[in-house]
Structure 1
């Protein structure tokens, strides 16, 4: 599987990363999925301290420990579970980040994190202190690079202008092209990578889209109604270039942009994981194919994410 550099960090990761949130808490099942990912050439594993109260990090760290020097582990911080663990609060303070990284390192069973990400962010955060925390962790050798997970253009712009972040994780797909206008240009210009989550758009960009349609249209794709979604997907499916698959188009579309380093996709089964790995290894899109997809699909604005 091809690898790309994350920003200007010197860290090279597989074009497909495994979103580990969906591997579950059953150890045998989680291990099977993680080991299959390795067999498929995946070297990028994305987790967070929030997932399963830290159990996710433990499973990832334990299973991947034998190949630690061959992989990229990304995790996140910024959310704090309440004492009764029924909700969480946001904390982007320097003190919390520097404390949270210690717990993540312990759960992961490693002495460094490749990519440490702020799990959100707003303009009200103590941004200078947050950046200082990440920079100190880099200087201390506890992390190799840092980034943010955000779909807020204003927040992204601030971090690009004020920090040395390597990546921004954000939702991006053929059906959610919002990043193309307000985020990707500034990232590409500054050597910051986008790590795209949700590349198959709630399962719509797969051959199972008909059974997903009614629910997916209500899950954050409000610029499409159900009928227009059906129209777009029907054209993509029926008129796609020879040798292409729908989910192959989905992965390759995202990876076509010069700012893209990787797509992160979850997998709750080995079969799903293998299909994602197959799809991402389809040939790169031609410019004609890329333009064809853009002509079919819609752009949209981040009208609800200004702060």
Structure 2
């Protein structure tokens, strides 16, 4: 498994990595998925305190106890949640972040987080206070590095200018090409890495893409209509061959830009994980194929999320 450096840090993450949100609540099943991922060379696991209101962190923590040294562990903070009421509100204050890290460390059964991420953000936040909180945690040795999870260009630009983030997690795939227009070159120039979440577009870019579109995209996806999505998935099926599956193609697409450090996919079963691990046996993506996919899809831009 090839690894890529996160920004200018000493963290090197596997090119594909496991987003843990969809692991479910069965500990044994979740551990099987995580163990298989780590055995295959994946070293970055991504979770958040908000996932299942803390339960996901507990499950991940138990699963990696015996091999913490094999893991670059990422989690997130910023949503003040009430587990009993199943409710939450945005809170990027220093007080909440410093309480959040203690709670996450306890749930994850570890004494440090490799990559601590702000789970959202708006242009109206007190960013100086938020940044100061993360810098304090880094000085205290509770986190190794920090980043943000956001798709808002205006917020990202502020953190690029004012903080020491090493990464930005954002949705990016062949159907959602918004980061290409505004973000990827900017982040690469500033030596900040992208963690690309949703590289399979909820499964619409997977080996079962057409079926997923029929069940999940009846109202369309972003600026695409349902009919356009069906037509696109049918055209992409032409690229499935012995050299690469559609899952592998989707992962290769987002990894094409040098700003992207890793493609973070989810898996709710070992079988789903195995489909993505076929990436490891695939022929390299050519400039020609990358260009053909770009020609098929639309270079949409950020409109609502600024």
Same structural fold, with TM-score higher than 0.5 when normalized by the shorter chain: yes
1:149 counterpart residue number: 149
1:285 counterpart residue number: 285
2:271 counterpart residue number: 271
User: How far apart in 2 are the matches of 1:106 and 1:220?
Assistant: 41
Q: After the TM superposition, which residues 89-104 of structure 1 pair with which residues of structure 2 at under 5 Å, given as runs? A: 89-104=89-104
User: How far apart in 2 are the matches of 1:149 and 1:220?
Assistant: 25
Pair 1:85-2:85 in alignment: yes
Contact 1:173 1:254 in 2 (8 A): yes
Of stretches 269-278 and 206-215 in structure 1, the one that deviates more from structure 2 is 206-215
Number of residue pairs the alignment of both structures matches: 306
Following superposition, the deviation at residue 211 of structure 1 comes to 1.6
2:39 counterpart residue number: 39
1:164 counterpart residue number: 164
Deviations 1:127-149, CA, capped at 9 Å, x for gaps: 00000111111111110100111
Hey, which bits of structure 1, 4+ residues long, moved more than 4 A?
A: 239-242
User: How far apart in 2 are the matches of 1:70 and 1:243?
Assistant: 30
- Aligned-residue RMSD, C-alpha: 1.6
User: How far apart in 2 are the matches of 1:301 and 1:113?
Assistant: 33
2:13 counterpart residue number: 13
Following superposition, the deviation at residue 118 of structure 1 comes to 0.4
Pair 1:107-2:111 in alignment: no
Following superposition, the deviation at residue 206 of structure 1 comes to 1.5
User: How far apart in 2 are the matches of 1:242 and 1:83?
Assistant: 47
Following superposition, the deviation at residue 39 of structure 1 comes to 1.7
User: How far apart in 1 are the matches of 2:220 and 2:99?
Assistant: 33
User: How far apart in 1 are the matches of 2:131 and 2:15?
Assistant: 27
Q: After the TM superposition, which residues 251-270 of structure 1 pair with which residues of structure 2 at under 5 Å, given as runs? A: 251-270=251-270
1:298 counterpart residue number: 298
User: How far apart in 2 are the matches of 1:112 and 1:85?
Assistant: 29
Following superposition, the deviation at residue 245 of structure 1 comes to 1.8
Q: After the TM superposition, which residues 112-151 of structure 1 pair with which residues of structure 2 at under 5 Å, given as runs? A: 112-151=112-151
User: How far apart in 2 are the matches of 1:251 and 1:91?
Assistant: 33
1:249 counterpart residue number: 249
Contact 2:53 2:83 in 1 (8 A): no
User: How far apart in 2 are the matches of 1:175 and 1:107?
Assistant: 35
Following superposition, the deviation at residue 103 of structure 1 comes to 0.8
Contact 2:245 2:278 in 1 (8 A): no
2:236 counterpart residue number: 236
Q: 1:23 to 1:266 in 2, by over 3 A?
A: same
Following superposition, the deviation at residue 207 of structure 1 comes to 2.1
User: How far apart in 1 are the matches of 2:77 and 2:172?
Assistant: 21
User: How far apart in 1 are the matches of 2:140 and 2:235?
Assistant: 52
2:173 counterpart residue number: 173
2:182 counterpart residue number: 182
What TM-score do you get using the length of structure 2 for normalisation? 0.96
Q: 1:269 to 1:240 in 2, by over 3 A?
A: closer
